[in-house]
A and B are shown apart, each in its own frame.
Chain A
């Protein structure tokens, strides 16, 4: 399969500044050495707790943040080495859907202005052409055509997210990074938006990177799933494989936390102690060892590398010293 996006050893560190002269006192290691590929047409889910760096990762992929180190190669072009003009041109091909539809739409602009902005920025088409295009897009995302001159606050959360989606697909992008697109919505609305996203994927063959903390949602939409912990990937594999056979204890605990509707009650539920550690002062060795029920001395000393524990056809990478043991 063709790779649309290659992320190589990506690091995004934010300096922590303080004092009179704003000296750098340390770094937040928001994303610290993440590598993965995204194949054309698939949906890659990225899950993790709050503060694990998944939003930063998504924003870096769409060039909102500059990576400290590493490369993002989109359609064989290194995003960080492009000049402004080329980047603007390439931006057509990757877009983002934001978490909070209340925040991501400028409350001072009409729906029409919001959706036609991608065209306005690139000076595509005249006013009439743009209006028709906006009406088209409204149809596609399931909004009625008479909302053109309304303002975002006149809509419900789900409708607003549809406006956000219309804006994101306006330029026919190949890749869309969805940053928790449904977590601010009611459950009943969530499924509508998810189905809309999946329909659009089929219609326009869009590739998604789907960031979420909700494992059920990720399972519903994703072909492959990556699990992040404190700025690093701890496991990445096919969705089925990861949900049926998680290798990393962190993934196991996440999956065991999914509420079950059918079948008998959970036999073994792993409840993690404590919070996610600080991304400024990280634990030694495996970042997960302070919370891991299986941690040993080795885990305290050494960070486990991400290795493939599956086979050629079914790659299942995990970063745990004891992934091979049946924990």
Chain B
């Protein structure tokens, strides 16, 4: 049986009433959803192809070779070309392309000039291209998708480890606590960035190995807070009451202490997400993050510094997206912190 505690409902209501945070939350959710469906909006594969009285939906299917549409090549159909050809033929065949008909990996070569190309509505490079002719908007969107999911996964794993260890440290105390306190102090003093740079210079990290490295160094943050909160909770009488009833340690920790320290944890979530995005972007910027050609904001940023005079549109678009996203996450964080502030609504009357 699941029923929300009226206290929790009260907190959610308060969160909703903080407009800035609430709308940021809605927009961010929308953006995440939008990025998940990114292939429908930003892609070089057509949404719908109508050819010889048959419909094709290439977006999520296997690659369709050009021969299928009567083109003279075996490799994947270039739908932008196909669209032009169908228009000229005017035999009732048509192609509907996504809003931005470019893939984040695809370089668009224009005759007679070198990339980066400036924004152009006519060519559908709404935010221009980067130095190899890849569409900036496409790279922004897919870069966002990678960054936000990287950040969310980082959050989940870091918190799973951090909360477990923190709870055990706080509840068991004694030697276990002492041991992990020292471990964390040592961990804290390892320069995180150097360590990653050293590791990245030996093996080029992919998405999951980078995630692993960052979890390895990142679980400490929440552990301290959880430990302290658990320390406070375990001395309270409801824990004693559970002990008298004969509750096991696992039961006390999971069903008694954890729900009571959740609000402490939730407060940190948005800030951890912002931290994850920033960290990944910074690493990519320095060239120690995800290997190219993975679309990433950090890598766009480094191009932006390289071409800040020749191609200011790269810098403008990536910096403004970074600022907007991080500001929204911070707004959410502030709203959550305010909504869950125990001083505003305590269990004491």
A residues with CB within 8 A of B: 22, 59, 62, 64, 87-88, 91-92, 95-96, 98-100, 102-110, 117-118, 121-122, 149, 151-154, 164, 167
How far apart sit A96 and B237, CA to CA, in the bound complex (Å)?
Answer: 11
Asked if B259 is at the interface (CB within 8 A of a chain A CB), the reply is yes
Beyond A95-B244, A104-B241, A117-B247, list 10 extra A-B contacts (CB 8 Å): A22-B178, A59-B240, A96-B241, A96-B244, A102-B347, A102-B348, A108-B256, A108-B260, A117-B245, A118-B245
Residues in A whose Cβ lies below 8 Å from that of B7: 107-108, 151, 153
Return the contact of A91 from the options B236, B245, B255, B260 (Cβ within 8 A): B245
| Cβ contact within 8 Å between A103 and B238 | yes
Tell me the minimal C-beta distance from A258 to chain B in angstroms: 28
Return the contact of A121 from the options B238, B246, B259, B347 (Cβ within 8 A): B246
Contact with A along B334-349 (1 / 0, CB 8 A): 0000000000000111
| Cβ contact within 8 Å between B3 and A98 | no
Asked if B109 is at the interface (CB within 8 A of a chain A CB), the reply is no
| Cβ contact within 8 Å between B3 and A110 | yes
Residues in B whose Cβ lies below 8 Å from that of A87: 246
Contact with A along B234-252 (1 / 0, CB 8 A): 0011101111111110010
- List, sorted by A's number, 16 A–B pairs whose CB atoms are closer than 8 Å: A22-B178, A87-B246, A96-B244, A99-B237, A103-B238, A105-B241, A107-B5, A108-B5, A108-B259, A109-B259, A117-B247, A121-B246, A151-B6, A153-B6, A153-B347, A164-B241
Instruction: Name which residue of chain A comes closest to B256, CB basis.
Output: A106
A103 in contact with B246 given A96-B241, A151-B7 (CB within 8 Å): no
Residues in B whose Cβ lies below 8 Å from that of A100: 237
B residues with CB within 8 A of A: 3, 5-7, 178, 236-238, 240-248, 251, 255-256, 259-260, 347-349
Residues in B whose Cβ lies below 8 Å from that of A96: 240-241, 244
Tell me the minimal C-beta distance from A93 to chain B in angstroms: 11
Residues in A whose Cβ lies below 8 Å from that of B240: 59, 64, 96, 98, 104
Residues in B whose Cβ lies below 8 Å from that of A110: 3
| Cβ contact within 8 Å between B244 and A117 | no
How far apart sit A152 and B259, CA to CA, in the bound complex (Å)?
Answer: 15
Tell me the minimal C-beta distance from A80 to chain B in angstroms: 16
Q: Which of B7, B248, B256, B347 has the most CB of A within 10 A?
A: B347
Residues in B whose Cβ lies below 8 Å from that of A149: 3
Residues in A whose Cβ lies below 8 Å from that of B256: 106, 108
How far apart sit A153 and B342, CA to CA, in the bound complex (Å)?
Answer: 14
9 interchain residue pairs of minimum CB distance: A108-B259, A104-B237, A103-B237, A106-B238, A91-B246, A107-B347, A88-B246, A96-B244, A104-B241
Instruction: Name which residue of chain A comes closest to B347, CB basis.
Output: A107
Tell me the minimal C-beta distance from A82 to chain B in angstroms: 12
How far apart sit A107 and B345, CA to CA, in the bound complex (Å)?
Answer: 13
| Cβ contact within 8 Å between B241 and A167 | yes
Tell me the minimal C-beta distance from B165 to chain A in angstroms: 20
Instruction: Name which residue of chain A comes closest to B262, CB basis.
Output: A108
Tell me the minimal C-beta distance from A174 to chain B in angstroms: 14
Residues in A whose Cβ lies below 8 Å from that of B348: 102
Tell me the minimal C-beta distance from A74 to chain B in angstroms: 13
Instruction: Name which residue of chain A comes closest to B3, CB basis.
Output: A149
A105 in contact with B238 given A117-B247, A153-B7, A154-B6 (CB within 8 Å): yes
Residues in B whose Cβ lies below 8 Å from that of A64: 240, 243-244
Residues in A whose Cβ lies below 8 Å from that of B255: 109
Residues in A whose Cβ lies below 8 Å from that of B260: 106-108
Instruction: Name which residue of chain B comes closest to A173, CB basis.
Output: B244
